[in-house]
Structure 1
Amino acid sequence: MWVKAFSWSGVIACSSLYGLLFLAVRYLIAIGGANHVQFGLLLFMIPGALAALMSKEAPFTVLLLAVLLASPPCLALMQLSTFHSVGLGQEIAIITSAVFWCGSGALAVMLCRTLVEIHQRQSRG
């Protein structure tokens, strides 16, 4: 029953965007050091916003499924010798931060949607 509450296209789009952003941010960390991380993690608000825009009924379900699908392959890819790995604990910390910023993006879209609905109700009545 809960499977009908969200769109699989939203999960796939959010998951692929999350994976691409994760690889891009991790590559910038390996090349430029910690200075790029501060701005790079804010980019993770985009997949969260996308999840909230594609699923009005269950944005966090879409977001969590996308993160659960994308994080293990990204984590496994980062452990390869071609990428500079900073350790499993640091990788999990980055994933946790990415999930936080994704959730923040979804919450921002949900807040904007709620404020628009309140404004529309007040202007009608």
Structure 2
Amino acid sequence: MARYRCWMGIFSCFLLFNLVFLGQKSEFFGGSGGEHHGEIGLLLFIIPGFIASALSSKKRILYPLLGALYAVPFCLFIHHFLWLMPGDSFWQELAYVISAVFWCALGAMLCLFIRVVMHALQQLYQSERL
């Protein structure tokens, strides 16, 4: 069962990362299409990391990070070879995707932080009840 949860975390992050990336590129989430000007749309990459971390049983930061890293070549391939709009250079797109990986890992850490805080509050509440 733990092996299944490992792949579930990686696959969910891979899939959600690609969906957010393609949504950003197609201006579905309010992205600018081809130009990147410090958009707040990068914050949407927190969602795949958060969800993948919640779905993973162990290594809650590593599995979302692996899913995001596996998605990087796929995103770059889709953008440069199958996208019809001319965009930024390869290096600008690589920097954009790597910063998206950072935000995805931050989402995983946020999920872990919330989990630890909830556990500590639960322990505090149980100790006060006794």
TM-score for the superposition, normalised by structure 1: 0.84
Structure in which a larger fraction of residues adopt helix = 1
Asked if residue 49 in structure 1 is aligned to residue 40 in structure 2, the reply is no
Supply the distance in 2 between the matched residues of 1:5 and 1:77 (Cα, whole angstroms).
Answer: 28
CA gap 1:11/1:100 in 2 versus in 1, 3 angstroms:
same
Aligned partners of 2:60 and 2:85: how far apart in 1?
32
Q: Does 1:123 align with 2:122?
A: no
Partner of 2:12: 13
Provide the alpha-carbon RMSD of the alignment: 2.1
Task: Please point out which of 96, 99, 102 is paired with 1:97.
Answer: 99
Structure 1 pair 5/58, CA: closer, same or farther in 2 (3 Å)?
Answer: farther
Query: Which deviates more from structure 2 when the two are superposed, residues 83-92 or residues 107-116?
Result: 83-92
Q: How many pairs are equivalent? A: 121
Which residue is equivalent to 1:58? 59
Any unmatched runs of 5+ in structure 1?
none
How far did 1:27 drift?
A: 2.6
Q: Is the 8 A contact 2:49 2:65 kept in 1?
A: no
* Deviation (angstroms), 1:12: 1.2
* Contact residue 6 and residue 62 of structure 1 kept, 8 A: no
